[in-house]
Structure 1
Amino acid sequence: MPAMASRVPATAGTLSSKVYERLRLDIIHAVLPPGQKLHIAQLCTRYAVGLSPMREALNRLARDGLVTHSEQRGFHVTPVSEVHLDELTKTRGWLNELALRQSIANGDRAWEEQVVLAYHRLSRLPRAEPGTAASDINAPWEEAHRDFHKSLLMACGSSWLLGYCEQLFDAADRYRHLSRLSNVREAVRARDEHKALMEATVERKTEDAVLLLHKHLAVTAELVRGSLAGAPPPAAPRRRERRADSTQRAARRSGG
């Protein structure tokens, strides 16, 4: 697994940090598809930054495992495969189980309330906004989804473990976006699984929570595998946020 890169940069607020976050989201959301060549000059135009912060951002993404780099071929978005998905799902299950067990053992009342609140926020948001295509990205839901999964593990007592779990979440989320798991049946399944996982966790039913966690990850991976195997690569999604629209307009102006 690639080396863990901190989600909080040493110089927060810098151009490099900002472009890193924008590139990271565009890769996870399949706006930049797997295997795509990342031409630095074109990226600088697209994201309106200079060469130095762009190179720094790409190197951080390479450490995250979302970008590959070689002296001969330059930077590319990391390819995807069923073998990689299987390895990712197993590794994510191992580390998330460890973190969840530790959270349940160590978490206090404030942590329980954080888990319940994170679930409540997620459950009140639609997977896709009304009147939009199912494949459109609803940024508030995506953020709440990440926060819910993170809340389950927050009391594990290890920032290292949390960092690796977050890195694996990003890698798995990219597969989910590539497969476009956003239909009504999938949304209901995910909602029900999230609720069951929340309840088992706050009730300190450790073995039930662990089983539900593994089932949630495995079922999602199986749906992703079937979707990727049975359909051509989909068009890049649209994001329901103003920044995405401006990014895409800049991309069209720069030609790439």
Structure 2
Amino acid sequence: METPRVMQEPASEGRKPTLSSRLAAELREAILDGDLKPGSKVNLDQLRRQYDVSLSPMREAVSRLVPDGLVKFEDQRGYTITPISVDDLREVTLLRADLETAALGHSIERAGVDWEGEALAALHRVTRLKRDASDRQSIRIWEEAHTKFHIALGAGCAMPHLLHMCEVLHNLNERYRRILDTSSQRAEGAAREHTEICQAAVDRDKTRAMSLLRTHITLTGTILAAEMETSARFQG
């Protein structure tokens, strides 16, 4: 893996991000990309040398990824990159289908025209961006837009806990998508599905929008699980 560069994370509300928050953002990308291998032990000393930082901010950065489900901590054993498995992927898919459709349904019932505009803007961005398998940065930019689109669909639900859980699950699913790299199988179909889901949502067709979203999430999960079950990388 090439020598990492700590990413400059945009500051929120005028506040400059801390070193630990920038490190956490970079580590998150390394985990989602599979550079930090699923199931591998986290060597804090090695990481702090790799990123040229002291131990304290590196430990804090790693600990920030525990609530996101990307890192596990056990007493006496320390930190481990959360393993991946077909069973875990299926659970993530099922939970995403349940929770994201619930958030979308509440948004359709409760949200106003501003929510519609934000959902359409997020759709426009994710549809216009292109993923280039040879360009990791383009993949990261697309994945960020893709996450924002899915979160935008449910953002009008006025339930911050539900939205947080949706975002955590979406990131867990994103790791499988990046590591398995099935984007070419879904590019055209996913773009069409995104458009259909968003149009049904802004038309306030709750039943159709929720059904389309559930089918979209389930289909992606099914393709990823099939790839994982047949890939030699995950056998034995």
Superposed pair shares fold, TM > 0.5: yes
**Is 1:186–2:186 an aligned residue pair?**
yes
Q: Deviations over 1:206-225 (max 9, x none)?
A: 01111111111111011101
Specify which of 86, 91, 100 is matched with residue 104 of structure 2.
100
- Residues of 2 paired with 1:161 and 1:94: CA distance? 11
**Residue equivalent to 1:30:** 34
Q: Deviations over 1:42-74 (max 9, x none)?
A: 111222221111111212212221111223332
Q: CA separation of 1:229/1:12 partners in 2, compared to 1, >3 Å: closer, same or farther? A: farther
User: How many Å apart are 1:12 and its aligned residue?
Assistant: 6.0
Query: Is the contact between residue 66 and residue 171 of structure 1 (CA under 8 Å) also seen in structure 2?
Result: yes
**Is 1:151–2:155 an aligned residue pair?**
no
- Residues of 1 paired with 2:224 and 2:196: CA distance? 21
User: How many Å apart are 1:136 and its aligned residue?
Assistant: 7.3
Matched letter for residue 115 of structure 1:
A
User: How many Å apart are 1:137 and its aligned residue?
Assistant: 5.0
Query: Is the contact between residue 103 and residue 155 of structure 1 (CA under 8 Å) also seen in structure 2?
Result: yes
Structure 1: give runs of 5+ residues left out of the alignment. Answer: 1-7, 235-256
Q: Deviations over 1:180-205 (max 9, x none)?
A: 1121x421111111111111111111
**Residue equivalent to 1:49:** 53
User: How many Å apart are 1:85 and its aligned residue?
Assistant: 1.2
Query: Is the contact between residue 85 and residue 221 of structure 1 (CA under 8 Å) also seen in structure 2?
Result: yes
- Residues of 2 paired with 1:139 and 1:34: CA distance? 19
Instruction: Say which structure, 1 or 2, has more relative contact order (CA 8 Å, 6+ apart).
Output: 1
Query: Is the contact between residue 135 and residue 180 of structure 1 (CA under 8 Å) also seen in structure 2?
Result: no
**Residue equivalent to 1:168:** 169
Query: Is the contact between residue 134 and residue 182 of structure 1 (CA under 8 Å) also seen in structure 2?
Result: no
Aligned length: 221
Structure 1 moving runs of 4+ over 4 Å: 134-137
Query: Is the contact between residue 34 and residue 79 of structure 1 (CA under 8 Å) also seen in structure 2?
Result: yes
Query: Is the contact between residue 178 and residue 233 of structure 1 (CA under 8 Å) also seen in structure 2?
Result: no
User: How many Å apart are 1:138 and its aligned residue?
Assistant: 2.3
Query: Is the contact between residue 21 and residue 61 of structure 2 (CA under 8 Å) also seen in structure 1?
Result: yes
Structure 2: give runs of 5+ residues left out of the alignment. Answer: 1-11
Query: Is the contact between residue 36 and residue 76 of structure 1 (CA under 8 Å) also seen in structure 2?
Result: yes
**Residue equivalent to 2:139:** 138
**Residue equivalent to 1:214:** 214
**Is 1:80–2:84 an aligned residue pair?**
yes
**Residue equivalent to 2:94:** 90
- Residues of 1 paired with 2:141 and 2:90: CA distance? 28
Over the aligned positions, Cα root-mean-square deviation in angstroms equals 1.9
User: How many Å apart are 1:30 and its aligned residue?
Assistant: 1.5
**Residue equivalent to 1:246:** none
Percent of matched pairs sharing the same residue: 37
Matched letter for residue 94 of structure 1:
D
**Is 1:233–2:233 an aligned residue pair?**
yes
Query: Is the contact between residue 67 and residue 78 of structure 1 (CA under 8 Å) also seen in structure 2?
Result: yes
- Residues of 1 paired with 2:19 and 2:136: CA distance? 30
Q: CA separation of 1:134/1:50 partners in 2, compared to 1, >3 Å: closer, same or farther? A: closer
User: How many Å apart are 1:230 and its aligned residue?
Assistant: 1.3
